Amino acid sequence: MSTAYIGSVEACERFPSPETIDKIAGAVGVMPSTLFLERGSPQSAQEAFVQNYGHSLQQELSKRILKDIDDVCRLL
């Protein structure tokens, strides 16, 4: 992964796949949930994840589900 890609993820311009999140966490030697902790804040990893990525993830999942439904309909 390029530094430009990682920077775009940090800036919430891109949303990494679960596999990419695992790779990033592995590369820096932390649990994936640690990547969502806010510095200097008692906020939980789950709250940080929802705040930072919840809407983007919901949109991405909606697109994928609609595509999968469309693919299934084409097969029928």
Per-residue pLDDT tens digits for 7-55: 888 787 888 888 888 888 888 888 887 777 666 555 565 666 677 777 7
Query: Tell me, what's the pLDDT at 48?
Result: 67
Q: Is the pTM of this model over 0.75?
A: no
**Residues whose CB falls within 8 Å of the CB of residue 22, separated by 6 or more in sequence, listed in order:** 32
Cβ 71 vs Cβ 62: under 8 Å: no
Q: Tokens 């909606």 — which residue?
A: 62
Query: Tell me, what's the pLDDT at 45?
Result: 59
Q: Tokens 């994928």 — which residue?
A: 64
